[in-house]
Structure 1
Amino acid sequence: MMRQPQQKALASMRRTFHLAHYRQPSAGSRPLLARRRFHLTAPTYLPRKRSFFTSNVFLQQNGTEPSVATPGVGRTPDFSADNGRAKTDKTSSSSATSYQPTSQPAATLRRKPPLKNSLRRVAVVAQKGVPSKTAATAAADVAVDAADGSATISAVCVADSFDMDAVVDALLVHGFLLDPDDSGFEVHEVVHARGANNGDIFVFPSGTVVTWSLPPDVVTALATRHLLPAAEDPHLDRKEVEDLEYVVDATRESSTMTGDVVVLGTKAEADDGDRLNTTLAKIAFSSGLARSTKLAVLESSLNSYFESTRQIPGLLSRGSRFTLSRRFILQKTGELLNLRAQLNHYNELTDSLPDIFWDSKSELRLETYYDRVGKALDVGVRIKTLNEKMNYAQEVVNVLRETSSEKHSTRLEWIIIVLIAVEVFFELRRVYMEKHDRDSDDAAKST
């Protein structure tokens, strides 16, 4: 028989076990027995491993390079029911890791970057190709451009034309050095000035100012304030600004364009200190950019013209009557003729080579630089498109003129009809009066 102290101790142990395993659950919690795990699987509220549903070695690597023979892959871990941890064999303990539940939610897990040998990356590289070092170097050179405009070519068109003698006087008053490299161009062709910060300024008779390596605020102040007294028919409300990036290559003898970036070859300047070739190249590129900016002004003016007449085709298509004065029609006809003349006659926009390059004695092919700027900015296509738009506008104007002529002819016809009716009335009145007089005379004779 068991002694009484031993029985009391055994009863106390049983009561402690009963309270520990069968106590009532608190609010919001589950009983301890209900939280016991009877399956050798991870809890459902924990995130699944990337390799849970697959045996693909590329999906099992979790962002690391796969090995040819990974020890422990495919082994079944041995789970013990007492602590629920995965244990591997002693031979694979150095390679196979045990599953450690994490408290981090699945939503916060970040996707790992694709592998270097992934099929998606191979397909993307095969489609796009490997970028060349030359293009990357050019992009890096262009990225050097800062907000101060140190590597920017800016063109501003503020007037229909410039009085070049007044331009020379304005630049001299503000202390600019004119024609510092003896380029040999006439004043009515182009005016070259250079400031204290070695920024170049080129003023063209077409009303355009082109600057190299000048801040944007200085360019705006120069074109809209300092040179404004020399402008003829200024249009500050329709001014156009265009920019190009340029890089300096001291290893090139000639200049070129890569895309829309001007590559300025300054080998002669770096070796001999002669800046003439560099200045001539700048003048050629500047002339091409000034041509594009002047064309942009005409494009803007034509868009404004279309905006003022956009309702006319709709009215004509509906057969509605519109009351447009003859003065309005003549005004629109004159505006269109002026735009067409500025595009094709008064400016050198349609010329393949400006007159300033015909007498140039430079060994450089300046017309090549001029043409490359035009091709980069699609000047030829834009001129063709602008002429086609003007042809359409001319058709609208012709319809308006025909309608106005018809209305004028109809008005004249009605005037003639009214005059004939008045004449007939007076003739009938005369006949009636004569007949009345004869009847009166006959009545007097009879009495």
Structure 2
Amino acid sequence: MLSKEDNEILTHSAAGTPMGELLRRFWLPVLLCEELDAPGGTQKRVTVLGEDLLAFRDTNGRVGLVEPVCPHRGANLYYGRNEEGGLRCVFHGWKFDVDGNCVDLPTAPCHSNYKDRIKIKTYPTREAGGFIWAYMGPADKMPELPQMEFTLLPASHVFVSKKWQDCNWVQCVEGAIDTAHFSFLHMVIPKEGQDVASLLQHAAIGSQSVKNDRIRWVQEDPRPKFEINEFPAGLTIGGARIAGEQDLYWRIAQFLAPNHALVPSAFPGENYHGQTWVPVTDTSCWIYNYTWNPDRPLTEEEREACRKGLTVHAEIDENYYPLRGPHNDYLIDREAQRQGSFTGIQGVSEQDAAIQNSMGGIVDRTREHLGATDIGLVKFRQYMLKRAKALASEGQEPAEPGCAAHYAVRSGGWVADAGKKLEQVMVERFGHPYGYVGADLRQAAEKVQS
């Protein structure tokens, strides 16, 4: 369990809070690129870390993320005109570019330089991997974008989505790195003669392009033994289950600071998946989801499966809200729950959301009773609290933002001899103890580390 004080530090993300200031040291996704698809198109309201902002793509294609308040009389620029390289307030015509500069002040005398002293608050943005990223921290601390593999690939190899969730972002992260729950939450209960693996494949829970008994191993061993290694960008979390007399089935997740996690399911040749959780308020967040294949473009069938809720993705409406959510009890089917589905809820993403949301807006961690399979989330909490407290009390900047190349890692499954440690398994599976992608990126990461 956590103390009340530590739970508040862990979960509060507004400006001035320890965790809020830590999160602001990193680049965060704030929109899908498709949400601002047209130069000079309609601006969009955005709330990130409790701040109400306005995003727009100017007529030159540049993305701005600005405070929406016109400094003249306080009118909201959401109602402004997106025209010729900037946003113009419709109240008195003051105009601002993506860097927050006032580029036209028609109410001032022609010879006046008053506009040069007017500026609105703005945050730097970048586009990568189908996301618009923003940096909301001190300008002199701005790092490189994290080199997550999906951001380095052609768009044809990647599918991205996002969805809304009605709870604190931390309990979502904890659900993702708690890989023990797969033995229950996402499991199906077969009837006599039915095959569990085929049922899960039909339910789009996992790919079976690599033939093995991974589903049976997960079902038969609900007590995985965990080993956790820290590396320059986060934590590698390996959970090992019995897979025969001499072998263990490893499901290896990656937590990448401060708010990314890579799914532990993929075997070589399969698609990889990951998620990033961005706080809106302390009791709501956007979840950014990504599926990628480093070796080939995704097929249209795979993209359509993602749209229908494959793995980390959810079925959503035009506003990115899940079709199955707390507003309709996730369309839980009690008969299906009795007959085959452990939850009676359709979709892995929706099953996760139902449980995470059921804990309340912010779960009271002072009442928990943790066990051996919870070691991953314990390490995650210690990791994040240590860095938030060090920044708040000592001004110690986190090292991870400066290690952009270390974010190019993979997660996934593997079967190895029971005598091997996680680091050895990582070398077998990925060719590197951290799971780095490719020799060039590994060399770049090692150079950053040195």
- Answer yes or no: same fold by TM over 0.5: no
* More strand by percentage: 2
* More helix by percentage: 1
Q: TM-score, normalised by structure 1?
A: 0.21
Q: TM-score, normalised by structure 2?
A: 0.21
